[in-house]
């Protein structure tokens, strides 16, 4: 199965300035992410950057990158431009690996692409894992997803869903079965839909929850969900996250 990995990279970051270029044990973070993604089965890995400095950093380390507009409101918009520039179209599969996930598991990238290929009625796929702690289930920063019997998403929310009526909403630890699912921010798209996505009107529920994937469901499209048994490694949003990932890389080295 052929697929392309695109990695959106934006230089500006409120909590961590110049985040894609942050040093991770001698390499810019964006290079770490691209090299990790290249261990998957992707036939091509390309960084979609908003600044020439990111493109230059990638070029210095042999990573393919292209420059996109600075004005894109979301990573999906940036990837839509990149996929068009690369000549991708129709049912070509594009996996969006976030540029701040230097510990992403290559096998999870493969699984996300395979899940979309196995669901011809879906325009996207994503990933999730089981939640076993009540505090995580109640945390609005942890996005939850509910699926149907085929593993296709019914809903995403920051609220604790599904609601355990007989336990008052949130049971005590450990959470009982069937356990709720935490959404992982890894996506695969059909290139034709990805290029259409920026033209879709933003949905009311998307605006309320601040979850872009709800636009897809609101417009009647389907998202397949791969459930992995393992939680992903930490991403990088803050200086504290950066220190944590540096420690993991030193330990692995």
- Look-up: residue for tokens 């409120």? 14
Q: β-strand 223-227 against 65-67: which pairing, if any?
A: unpaired
Strands 181-190, 124-130: parallel, antiparallel or unpaired by DSSP?
antiparallel
Distance, in Å, from the CA atom of 151 to the CA atom of 137, rounded to the nearest integer, reads 20
pLDDT tens-place string over residues 184-222: 999 999 999 999 999 999 999 999 999 999 999 999 999
Q: Rounded to whole angstroms, what are the CA distances from 27 to 21, 35, 50, 94, 233?
A: 8, 10, 19, 25, 18
Give 169's DSSP letter.
B
Query: At a CB cut-off of 8 Å and minimum separation 6, what does 181 contact?
Result: 128, 129, 130, 131, 144, 145, 146, 147, 225, 227
The answer to whether the Cα torsion of 109, 114, 119, 123 is positive or negative is positive
| Predicted local confidence at residue 253, as pLDDT | 83
Task: Kindly list the distances between the CA atom of residue 217 and the CA atoms of 159, 202, 207, 214, in Å, as whole numbers in the listed order.
Answer: 17, 11, 13, 5
Residue with tokens 């964006």: 30
Q: Which of 215, 8, 187, 193 is CA-nearest to residue 91?
A: 193
For residues 223 and 190, the answer to whether their CB atoms sit within 8 Å is: no
pLDDT tens for each residue of the chain, 253 residues long: 899 999 999 998 778 889 999 999 999 999 999 999 999 999 999 999 999 999 999 999 999 999 999 999 889 999 999 999 999 999 999 999 999 999 999 999 999 999 999 999 999 999 999 999 999 999 999 999 999 999 999 999 999 999 998 888 889 998 988 999 999 999 999 999 999 999 999 999 999 999 999 999 999 999 999 999 988 888 998 999 999 999 999 999 8
**pTM summary value:** 0.95
The correct answer on CATH 3.90.550.10 for the domain covering 3-252 is yes
Domain residue extents for the chain:
3-252
């Amino acid at each position: 199965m052929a697929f392309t990995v695109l990695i959106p990279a934006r230089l500006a970051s409120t909590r961590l300035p110049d985040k894609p270029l942050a040093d991770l044990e001698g390499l810019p973070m964006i290079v770490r992410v691209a090299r990790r993604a290249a261990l998957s089965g992707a036939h091509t890995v390309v960084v979609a950057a908003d600044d020439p400095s990111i493109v230059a950093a990638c070029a210095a380390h042999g990573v393919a990158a292209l420059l996109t507009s600075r004005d894109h409101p979301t990573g999906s918009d940036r990837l839509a431009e990149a996929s068009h520039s690369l000549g991708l179209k129709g049912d070509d599969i594009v996996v969006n690996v976030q540029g701040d996930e230097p510990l992403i598991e290559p096998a999870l990238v493969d699984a996300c692409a395979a899940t979309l290929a196995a669901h011809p009625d879906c325009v996207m796929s994503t990933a999730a894992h089981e939640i076993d702690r009540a505090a995580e289930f109640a945390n609005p920063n942890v996005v939850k997803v509910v699926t149907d019997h085929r593993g296709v998403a019914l809903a995403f929310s920051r609220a604790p869903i599904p609601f355990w009526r007989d336990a008052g909403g949130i049971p005590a630890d450990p959470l009982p079965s069937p356990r709720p699912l935490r959404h992982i921010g890894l996506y695969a798209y059909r290139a034709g839909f990805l290029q259409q996505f920026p033209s879709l009107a933003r949905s009311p529920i998307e605006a309320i929850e601040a979850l872009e994937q709800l636009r897809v469901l609101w417009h009647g499209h389907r998202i397949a969900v791969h459930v992995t048994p393992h939680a992903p490694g930490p991403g990088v949003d803050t200086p504290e996250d950066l220190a944590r990932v540096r420690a993991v890389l030193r330990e692995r080295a």
